Structure 1
Amino acid sequence: MQSPPTPPPDTPVPFSYTINPLEPTEYSTAFTIADICFAPLDTLIFKKDSYPPSPSSSAQRTKARIARLTNSTPQPTLFKATDTLTGHIIGIPHWTIHHHDEEITQSVTDAVNNIVNASIPEMNRDAVRGFYTMVTEGKRDVLRVDVPVRGVYGPRGKDFPVVKLTRRVELETVFVHPAYWRRGVASALLEWVIKEAERLGLIVYLEATEEGRRVYERVGFEVVRGEWFDAGVFGGKGGCEYTFMVRRPTGMIAD
């Protein structure tokens, strides 16, 4: 399935869409749209002038991402917004529900190494390591609820607490094809996640770039941690603001 074309500027386009579960056969299409939406962020962890990657590397990356999605525990929930006129998929939300506190016994180093080792040749492995170390440490610090005990959190060879992360709905991603921005699609997709979290009495956790942050704030998310990723430190170019956000269910008081 091809990505929907961008309409000419200032051209009225009749528009309606439906929201339904995303089928496994549509995962490749979803990742194609994701790559379009997240290109500004992706370029920060690629070697200079190496984005977009070659067709073979793109296929390798998509295959690996589908495998991770299929083997995830708990199993993720994925929906799609579909343009009723064209039949094109135009947006995807992807979330997981953690009904109980989650104990993490893998070190940050080992978790990040798994990501680095799966990198395609066009990626800047140092930048990948730097970015995902920032993300992994930030997530664990924001969500941790445990009393420290001896374990394997932190650099190899040292004793750090095992990390226990709070129960939650984790919004892994939500994205809408740029041709359909500012039409309320992202807000509609977020409503599905928020309603489920409200029903379960769970916080919703997500990570966002500066552009996405404004969308999330409009539906009740708040920034609880902010970072700046500088690709220049790793031989790349550019940087981005990266935020960790939560939305608490109605009536929950912040700690």
Structure 2
Amino acid sequence: ELFPLNAWAPDAYQAAPHPITAMFSAFVVKAGLYAMARLLYLMQAVESWGSVLKLLVVMATLTVIVAELAALRQKNVKRMIAYSSIGQIGLMALAFALGTQSGVDAGVFHMVNHAIVKALLFLAVGYVAITLGGTEMERFQGLGKRMPLTAFAITVGAVATVGIPLFNVFWSKLRIIIATLDVGYTWAAVLVLSASVVEAVYYFRLLHTIWFTGEGEKVSESMVIGLVMLFLAALVVVIGVYPDYAWSIAQKAGEDIFNVAQYVKNVPLMGVGA
């Protein structure tokens, strides 16, 4: 999903069945990104590794900029969230491209947080589409009155994605900012903050539509889907309030990626150990 190789992604997100979109964003894309990070750090001994990192930094930066600006223009909520998801992939790739342990840790942490948030958002938006007949912005008018539980789930996912404190994504974005500053990439820290500002514009526009416009009769909401949304929303808040445990897991996974010698020792490549 990195620019310029991601032209297919928004259409794939929008056209896919709603449950598949949630799974695709939360797990399938992350698996590919993890594989990329694993391969990237296995190449540390290659002479051109530094050039590869620089290329990835450029691709990640362009991904964030193009995706966030595209999301700002969308009138279809599912497509807007698709572009938002692509932008977050850019942030993860940027963290991995820093070439440091702190960058890898931050990238993994953001992968975990983003997976939870985007699963919540795509599930809730997909449920709106099934119930109300589409994902165009006007379908979400008065959603707070018509489907309050679903509206609450979208609200939690939206404010988390922006990076509001006490929600999980705040901590992983903060870790990415710290990692960029550690290597002297002040511009990258500004990029992360600027992306959050753009996200605030289009997500708060959606929340205004949900809570402060439109009327309509209340719709009966599925208890099963409601419980799943509440569970995911609870994870977002719990990690936001108590981030240390999730961060420690991300650090262990990041160390496994960054420590190539230990990885080769544990998982010999082509039958050759370290």
Higher normalized strand content (fraction of residues): 1
Q: What is the TM-score with the length of structure 1 in the denominator?
A: 0.29
State the TM-score, normalizing by the size of structure 2: 0.27
Higher helix residue share: 2
